[in-house]
């Protein structure tokens, strides 16, 4: 999505340590059509120490003269239309320029559309979250505030926490199920290190087709072989608990490697499915791998309302060399 200059409104908060140092509570804005959810979000936010600046329906985002943003903005949009997507795009720009922390929850059906219009503010995107997962998101916001973080996490620390989070997520899901039928459908929560799972703005270095078809020094593996490996990995879940083998990073790398060799594009929803873990968990892995320089967001040059995930040149070369090293043994290992 093209970079657009958008000045923050007077009163939009600057996201920083100043208010915290002064002993003031962080202001939080809530936009959700479901009244019971607005009430739940307000209750949890106040319990976490936030001050509610506004709690309104999604229509408030459509106003020609919107109210100033809080330092944290929670949005729930399970279904989207053209007007809502336009409002989310404006909100994304405002949040980016004001430095506000944006947390958006949506559904699998709307994920691709929501993902495509949020490319400026490094938002947290939650897919059909339960209450526990929303609380985790608020905790991540607090952890990202300058002055609260004790130290930067190393890549090794982040991966260790990710593995631990996958185990904790199952417990969080069961806890959600105890609170009623609505919570029972929510994917598991994944507590994660601060700042490790954000979508960075897209970097444009040429057309999408050019980036997709760019050659590498090492030949890509046969996509049929990669797809056979993927099917073999998925087959295990028919006989054993799939959680025993959850490895979303590798499953996504395999899927994107095959797609690169096939010269096809992969949507964020499709990649979440390929990961074999709940969508929100997959989104956080995608964010981590993007920060690590393995994945990148690519806009559709013919339709700015769409965005895809691809391997970076670094990741393409690594996967190509991996399969080249395996050579003929790869087929026999399946």
Per-residue pLDDT reduced to its tens digit, 112-134:
999 999 999 999 999 999 888 89
Confidence of residue 148 (pLDDT cuts 50, 70, 90): very low
Please classify residue 212 by burial: count the beta carbons closer than 10 Å to its beta carbon, then call 0-12 exposed, 13-18 middle and 19+ buried.
middle
**Model confidence over 241-289: pLDDT tens digits?**
877 788 999 999 999 999 999 999 999 999 999 999 899 989 989 998 9
- With a CB cutoff of 8 Å and minimum separation 6, the contacts of 227 are 258
- The Cα 245–Cα 235 span in angstroms is 11
**Model confidence over 161-216: pLDDT tens digits?**
555 555 455 555 555 556 554 444 333 333 333 333 334 444 444 455 445 445 54
Provide the 3-class DSSP secondary structure of residue 107: coil
What is the pLDDT at residue 33?
A: 94
Asked if 249 and 289 count as a contact pair (C-beta separation under 8 A), the reply is yes
Count of CA atoms in the C-beta half-sphere (13 A) of 208: 20
Q: What average pLDDT does this structure show over 23-41?
A: 90
Provide the 3-class DSSP secondary structure of residue 199: coil
- With a CB cutoff of 8 Å and minimum separation 6, the contacts of 331 are 225, 228
- Compare 150 and 314 and report the one with higher pLDDT: 314
Q: Which two three-digit tokens encode residue 67?
A: 């109210």
**Topology adopted by domain 18-154:** Rossmann fold (3.40.50)
Confidence of residue 16 (pLDDT cuts 50, 70, 90): very low
What is the pLDDT at residue 19?
A: 45
Q: Residue 22: count other Cβ atoms within 10 Å of its Cβ.
A: 7
Asked if 92 and 76 count as a contact pair (C-beta separation under 8 A), the reply is no
Please determine, for residue 318, whether its predicted confidence score (pLDDT) is greater than 90. Answer: yes
Please determine, for residue 147, whether its predicted confidence score (pLDDT) is greater than 60. Answer: no
Q: Residue 24: count other Cβ atoms within 10 Å of its Cβ.
A: 11
Q: Which two three-digit tokens encode residue 170?
A: 């199952």
Top-level class of domain 208-333: mainly alpha
Q: Where are the domains positioned within the chain?
A: 18-154, 208-333
Q: Choose the most confident range, by mean pLDDT, from 7-21, 135-149, 178-192, 204-218.
A: 135-149
Asked if 100 and 48 count as a contact pair (C-beta separation under 8 A), the reply is no
- Compare 218 and 14 and report the one with higher pLDDT: 218
Nearest of 318, 263, 331, 258 to residue 289 by alpha carbon? 318
What are the C-alpha distances in Å from 145 to residues 21, 69, 235? 11, 17, 43
Provide the 3-class DSSP secondary structure of residue 236: helix
Note the pTM of the prediction, 2 decimals: 0.75
Please determine, for residue 100, whether its predicted confidence score (pLDDT) is greater than 90. Answer: yes
Confidence of residue 310 (pLDDT cuts 50, 70, 90): very high
């Amino acid at each position: 999505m093209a970079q657009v200059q958008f000045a923050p409104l007077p009163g939009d908060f600057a996201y920083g340590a100043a208010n915290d140092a002064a002993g003031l509570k962080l202001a939080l804005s809530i936009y959700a059509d479901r009244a019971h959810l607005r009430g739940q979000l307000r209750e949890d936010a106040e319990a976490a120490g936030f001050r509610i600046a506004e709690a309104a329906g999604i229509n408030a985002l459509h106003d020609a003269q919107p109210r100033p943003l809080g330092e944290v903005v929670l949005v729930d949009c399970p279904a989207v239309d053209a007007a809502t997507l336009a409002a989310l795009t404006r909100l994304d720009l405002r949040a980016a320029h004001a430095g506000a922390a944006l947390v958006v929850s949506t559904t699998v059906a709307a994920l691709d559309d929501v993902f495509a219009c949020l490319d400026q503010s490094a938002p947290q995107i939650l897919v059909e979250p339960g209450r526990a997962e929303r609380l985790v998101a608020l905790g991540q916001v607090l952890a990202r505030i300058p002055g609260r973080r004790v130290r930067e996490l190393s890549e090794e620390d982040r991966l260790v926490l990710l593995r631990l989070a996958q185990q904790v997520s199952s417990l969080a899901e069961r806890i959600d199920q105890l609170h009623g039928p609505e919570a029972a459908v929510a994917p598991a929560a994944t507590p994660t290190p601060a700042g490790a799972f954000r979508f960075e703005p897209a970097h444009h270095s040429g057309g999408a087709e050019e980036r997709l078809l760019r050659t590498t020094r090492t030949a890509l593996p046969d996509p049929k072989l990669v797809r056979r490996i993927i099917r073999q990995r998925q087959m295990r879940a028919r006989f054993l608990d799939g959680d025993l083998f959850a490895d979303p990073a590798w499953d996504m790398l395999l899927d994107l490697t095959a797609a690169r060799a096939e010269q096809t594009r992969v949507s964020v929803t499709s990649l979440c499915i390929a990961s074999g873990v709940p969508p929100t968990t997959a989104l956080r892995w995608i964010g981590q791998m993007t920060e690590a320089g393995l994945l990148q967001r690519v806009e559709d040059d013919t339709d700015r309302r769409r965005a895809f995930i691809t391997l970076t040149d670094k990741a393409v070369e690594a996967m190509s060399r991996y399969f080249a090293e395996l050579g003929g043994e790869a087929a026999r290992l399946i």
